[in-house]
Amino acid sequence: MKIRVLIVDDAVTVRSRVSKVLSTVPEIEIAGVAANGRIALAAIPQTNPDVIILDVEMPDMNGLETLVAIREKYPELPVIMFSSFTIAGATITLEALSLGANDYATKPSNLGSIEAANEHILTNLVLKVKLFGKLFETQNIEQQEQEAREIHLPTSPVLPDIFLNTSTAKIDVVAIGVSTGGPNALAQILPAFPADFPVPILIVQHMPPVFTQLLAERLNSKCQILVKEAVAGTVIKGGEAWIAPGDYHMVVEQNNGNKVQIGINQAPPENFCRPAVDILLYSVAKIYGAKSLAVILTGMGQDGLRGCQYIREVGGHIFVQDQTSSVVWGMPGFVANAGLAERVIPIDQMAGAIKQEVGNN
């Protein structure tokens, strides 16, 4: 049975391009197209879509207004926002996610060829359409457990022996990895931390440039702690949260004064991601050892699994979000099914659990 997709965009070229590309995928069927939100709302009962791809900037009835109307009438109908790679597009997309959009994808821009644009659409949209169209079950526990346990941690010379078997050490850093559903999960956790939260928080959210900066600004406006996009060379301290910038890996490293600072690099993607959770956790394990708390939240894929294996090897602590409260139980599911998580926690209890763990050590 094919996934029926309704494409909503005011640009005829976008509607045509996305329709043509998605039509090449055997499991997907184009249920219809609409030039604005009003037409889309009228088309939903006629086309009976399984997934809606929704432009954010449209005349007459924009993406946010359309999303609100869809949620009122069809609260369970999956909506993927299709955003331009601009500040305005990113701002509206983040607001859409807070209003109930399931996910987002960016439109192809300045890629140099039609082929590259088509590949961008395939890469960014197809997996998400399949996911939210429920063509396959991403939360297949047995499959995830088998795949997780088949991944073996290679011997690494970078992990100091001094950290081993010291699991009673106090927590000196919290490292959070998150992807699909992340902005809302972070918006639920971070405002719960007081301004004097004693340890720094480092966050990898799978998002492109511009989006990570605006996400940090949006979260900062709601939090008592400082939340900013990471800047290379910044010495980290308690009461602050740093979000890895889009298209850059974030690490921690010791400077000449033996203080821990942020490092930023564009090394090759890990798990097809840059920034990658694994890259951050490798460095956290090396610097903090058993004084680390890794937290893996909702997200597609298995980024963070290998990093959590390193955290576990040096005696650090690992929490993951539970399946029920996750938009996608991919990243946390792999870690849980590999037997690495000390606790599996609903998102509404995660901040309290983190505060307790930091305060008890």
Q: Provide the annotated active-site residues.
A: 179, 206, 303
Tokens 């399946």, located at residue: 323
In three-state secondary structure terms, 7 is strand
Query: How far from 76 is each of 67, 72, 181, CA to CA, in Å?
Result: 12, 10, 15
Residues in the chain: 361
Contacts 24+ apart (CB under 8 A), 192-197: 192/351, 192/352, 192/355, 193/223, 193/224, 193/225, 193/241, 193/351, 193/354, 193/355, 194/224, 194/225, 195/224, 195/225, 195/239, 196/238, 196/239, 197/225, 197/238, 197/239, 197/355, 197/358
Question: Which value, in Å, is the radius of gyration of the alpha carbons in the chain?
Answer: 21
CA distance linking residue 80 with residue 70, whole number of Å: 12
- 194 C-beta neighbours (distance < 10 Å), count: 11
CA distance linking residue 52 with residue 133, whole number of Å: 10
CA distance linking residue 99 with residue 318, whole number of Å: 30
CA distance linking residue 228 with residue 43, whole number of Å: 41
CA distance linking residue 54 with residue 103, whole number of Å: 10
CA distance linking residue 361 with residue 353, whole number of Å: 12
- 323 C-beta neighbours (distance < 10 Å), count: 16
CA distance linking residue 347 with residue 198, whole number of Å: 21
**CA-wise closest residue to 329 among 296, 352, 307:** 296
